[in-house]
A and B are shown apart, each in its own frame.
Chain A
Amino acid sequence: MQDFLQHLLNGISLGSIYALIALGYTMVYGILQLINFAHSDVYMVGAFAAYYVASLVGLQDSPGFSTLLVLLAASMVACSLLALAIERLAYRPLRKAPKLNILITAIGVSLFLQYFGQAVFGAEPKKFPAVLENKVLVSVAGVDVKTFDIAVLFITVVMMLVLNFIIFKTKLGKAMRAVSTNMKVASMMGVNTDRIIAFTFIVGSSLAGVGSVLVGMKYPSIDPLMGTLFGLKAFVAAVLGGIGSIPGAVLGGIIMGLSEEMVVAYLSSTYRDALAFGILIVILVFKPSGLLGKSQIEKV
């Protein structure tokens, strides 16, 4: 029982991280129908931005709430600026080109950032600054619930609620949904589509920034290729939850984390990814649009 609870906690804690990054994928997809493959590498740059800011202001080894805020701010600003630049230089010129071109460009940007990162930051892993102290908050049936587990889950759920609020309750969100439904008509109705799309990228990449600080806190080794595996799994989580759906991304992330954890716990660690992804394939066979995704009829 104690082991099961520990596994459950591990799985939710890992899943919240996938969920947080999945939110960024789903957000951009929801508005632009673009799978922004560079998202996971923007997240990597965010982690390095936080790392460099921390060493600049001398916060490498002083965990606390203020450190968390400084690092979050640094990483969110860096990610937003980078995403704006990517959108302006790589995606906007292709806005009228077929969808496939922009998708390939996204992969190109992703690879560019990975290798650019290796050249600029250096390839070897770096130690991420200590963000919070990992204290035991409560003990349930012999299982310690610690700061990191709660912080990650809490921040992910808050981000999900904030996103939902922005998209469904604000004027900006209305404009985003209009752009998502039909970009041409939205622009005829006076929506500045370029600005709305840029804003979408800012929000999506700020989420990547938050994710990078939380991942750095939990797994304090960062390197220029850190985005690939988490990015891939977060992307799968977004698809599983129904890409474009905000609560879906969180649900997908947590299911992903739990299925990985439980496969290791009760089946086999060697075949973890094979079995975990097998579960996902089964879910998608029965629910092709994802758990919370809307099924759309493709007009031919």
Chain B
Amino acid sequence: MQMNWKKLIVASLVSSFALTSGCTKKNSNEIVVGHFGSMTGSDATFGQSTDDGIRLAIDQANAAGGVNGKKIKLITMDTQGKSEEAASVVTRLIEQEKVVAVLGEVASTRSLAAAPIAQAKKIPMITPSSTNPKVTEVGDYVFRVCFIDPFQGTVMAKFAVENLKAKKVAILREVSSDYSMGLSDFFIAKFKELGGEIVADASYQNQDKDFKAQLTQIKSKNPEAIFVPGYYTQVGLIARQARELGIKAPLMGGDGWDSSKLFEIGGEAVNGGYFSNHYSTDSTDPAAIEFMTKFKAKYNKSPDGLSAAGYDAAQILVAALKTLPEITPSALRDAIAKTTNFPGATGNITINEQRNATKSAVVVQVQGPTNKFITSIAP
């Protein structure tokens, strides 16, 4: 008898799962948009920040009457920060939820896992902040509203030479990340072109917490700055350990540093570091100020760059949807591709022929929990 109730529980669990996963109600008065992001996992603030931005844009569109009388419904699915999950949730969004477009991911590795699926199913995909060039090279249905790594790497190389007057720079990159590898390569190319020397090029793995071996090696080469284009959790620990070893050279990075957690984890050690970003909270652009005000009103906190990028991606999608009397994937694709001079929170966005956004980048300096605007570098 005891075995029987156990079996019953298992059977009912299995059947309830089968029932709930099978069908989703299709409502013709709704336009379904999907977002896939790392809502959990080691870079969970990326997905959460982006989702906040997207949700703000969608709610705003719905409050203004929706798109041609239809409300937009946003379905967010969690990639857990894993590429294989990204591929499976995007398939689910397209096949089961019948989304008209997908927004996401932040990490290039995950966007690269999802993009071939969106391309094959001919569903437009807009990534808010994946900067690796390969992402939009997947096909003509994949867009982005941010700059790309060659630009971001170039910006930081120029910054190192012109603003920091550095001649010898060391690189510490995450070997398992397309983002970090790409950014480093473009940084190195530009930095050498400008006459600089790369004195060390070390790497680490995705879940590493101890970087002292690499940092000891870097320290022995006496670099004037260290370029660490990683993600905030590890960058925080790297900064701490670098200071523990007595390294005084400033650290530099890319938009992967953009999280309030950076300072929380890294503490004093990250202060004074420089990174390139999509926007700065010091921006005086009216569209950026409007976004910041609305964001603060809704979430009661300051938006980071990823929220701004998510907001812009959703805004551009909504604007494209509004131009269409009837939504078909190919018409929507064409409408997104036509985006010119869209006043986004992260600057004026024009989608170019490679489906990338041309816009300027800012360099900010970490100063406690906030970042100070240093300079803006145009494409």
Contact = CB atoms under 8 A, between A and B. Distances in A.
A146 B214 CA distance: 18
A261 B209 contact: no
A62 interface: no
Nearest to A257: B210
B213 A260 contact: yes
Contacts of B282: none
Interface stretch (A6-14, A33-41, A170-178): A6-14
Chain A contact residues, majority secondary structure:
helix
Given A219-B210, A269-B214, A270-B203, 14 more contacts: A10-B212, A10-B213, A14-B212, A122-B44, A123-B44, A125-B42, A125-B265, A229-B209, A230-B209, A261-B212, A264-B214, A265-B213, A269-B175, A272-B213
A146 B41 CA distance: 32
Which 8 residue pairs of A and B lie closest in terms of their CB atoms, listed nearest first?
A: A123-B40, A264-B213, A123-B44, A10-B212, A219-B209, A124-B44, A229-B207, A269-B202
A3 B220 contact: yes
A221 B217 CA distance: 23
Interface in A170-212: none
A122 B236 CA distance: 19
Interface residues of A, number: 34
Interface of A: 3, 6-7, 10-11, 13-14, 118, 122-125, 127, 134, 144, 146, 215, 219-221, 223, 225-226, 228-230, 260-261, 264-265, 269-270, 272-273
A10 B216 contact: yes
Interface residues of B, number: 33
A127 B42 CA distance: 13
A134 B203 CA distance: 26
Nearest to A219: B209
Contacts of A229: 207-209
Contact of B41 (A7, A14, A123, A144): A123
Contacts of A14: 210, 212
Nearest to B46: A124
A225 B207 contact: yes
B45 interface: yes
Contacts of A123: 39-42, 44, 80
A5 to B, nearest CB: 10
Contact of A264 (B40, B42, B202, B246): B202
A289 to B, nearest CB: 29
Contacts of A273: 205
